[in-house]
Amino acid sequence: MPLVIGHRGAPGYLPEHSRSSYSRAIEAGVDAVEPDVVPSADGVLVVRHENEIGATTDVSTRPEFADRRTSRVVDGERSTGWFTEDFTWAELQTLRCRERLPALRPGSAAHDDTEPVLRLRDVLELARAGGVGVVLEIKHAAAFARRGFDMAALVAAELRDAGWADAVDALIIESFEPLVLSRLREHGIRVPLVQLIESDGAPWDLRERDGADASSYASMLTPAGLDALAAEVEGISVDKRLVLAPDRWGRGRGPARLVGEAKRRGLRVYTWTCRPENAFLLPAHRRPGGRAAFGDYRGEWSVLRDAQLDGVFVDHPDLGVEFFGAGRR
């Protein structure tokens, strides 16, 4: 049975990356929780899905930070708002978490503005106290490098300070950018590393380095690409559509062969993200009631279960534990 990983905690019920969201995931019985990390101006690793925090905190309501609003290009996309790297950790601590998808998850949004932003250290302590593992995602390493932040060095130092650097059975580190994973090895980090893989496009750090010759995500899933990955990392984590393999009508035909091909090379295989709402399901599994209503998520998730994956990321930990982990505990 796969590991059940609370994706940003339990964001199906509570604002992502908040203390209560992580606590709810741990209480539901997940095997691990997944924090994303971005830096503050003074190099503290902050737990946010993106460095732009206008939608996931109350920063837009804070007049003292109005002049921090700016536009910035991150991984080729221009975004306007407030960015963690323009705030010290002391300033970020004053902000409160908000639901990222309030129209889709109003129940979670009802808890807006009640809890402070967390550091990676806070999540590591919560996980250790709760007896669960951590799957740590490093965000936008190439973009932060241009602004003077070495994400590999920051992560390595924090893990050592927190006593997690050698937690090979409790910690996994993942990124969409392969170069930051390589640099972690140079910093002596020996925990399992996982390459995140989108359904299209190419890693941004490789695009910056190699231009039009950058290896695409699709090329990573060819036999030669998987051979190369197996020499560098312990696993891959793929968009669930790559496992479901939908046809042009949105009907799943999976499990896709890539899972078996990767496993034959000794790679662990994870997928993201299992969500029950119609908005996130393949068309064949949607049901009446609108985007926020739960569809036939069990039907879609059955394909993922049949794939014999090593781990699945879930937004509703109770549903994930019940479906993927039944009988394990």
- Tell whether 233 is covered by a domain: yes
CB burial of residue 199 (10 Å; 0-12, 13-18, 19+): exposed
Q: Is residue 103 part of a domain?
A: no
> What's the CATH code of the domain at 272?
3.20.20.190
Tokens representing 117 are 């932003």
Do the domain assignments include residue 171?
Answer: yes
For residue 248, give both structure tokens. Answer: 């042009």
Q: Where are the beta strands (DSSP E) in 121-221?
A: 133-138, 171-175, 193-197
Q: Is residue 99 part of a domain?
A: no
Please, which residues bridge with residue 39 across strands?
45
Q: What is the pLDDT along the chain (329 residues), one digit of tens a residue?
A: 899 999 999 999 999 999 999 999 999 999 999 999 999 999 999 999 999 999 999 999 999 999 999 999 999 999 999 999 999 999 999 999 999 999 999 999 999 999 999 999 999 999 999 999 999 999 999 999 999 999 999 999 999 999 999 999 999 999 999 999 999 999 999 999 999 999 999 999 999 999 999 999 999 999 999 999 999 999 999 999 999 999 988 889 999 999 999 999 999 999 999 999 999 999 999 999 999 999 999 999 999 999 999 999 999 999 999 999 864 54
Enumerate helices (H) and strands (E) in the chain, giving the number of each. Answer: 14, 12
Which DSSP letter does residue 304 get? H
Q: How far apart are CA 266 and CA 227, in angstroms?
A: 10
Indicate the number of domains in the chain: 1
Boundaries of domain holding 200: 3-50+110-324
d(CA 275, CA 296): 11
DSSP track, 83-101? BGGGS-HHHHTT-BB--S-
In a domain, 44, yes or no: yes
**317, part of any domain:** yes
With respect to residue 88, please indicate whether it lies within any of the assigned structural domains: no
Could you list the beta-strand ranges (E) of the chain. Answer: 3-7, 32-34, 36-39, 45-47, 70-74, 77-81, 133-138, 171-175, 193-197, 235-239, 268-274, 311-314
Contacts of 259 (CB under 8 A, 6+ apart): 243, 269, 307, 308, 309
Q: Which two tokens stand for residue 251?
A: 């009907």
Q: Is 58 a domain residue?
A: no
Q: Quick check: 37 and 31 in contact, CB under 8 A?
A: no
Please, what is the Cα angle at 90 between 88 and 95, to 5 degrees? 95
Q: What is the CA radius of gyration of the chain?
A: 19
CB 174 within 8 A of CB 197: no
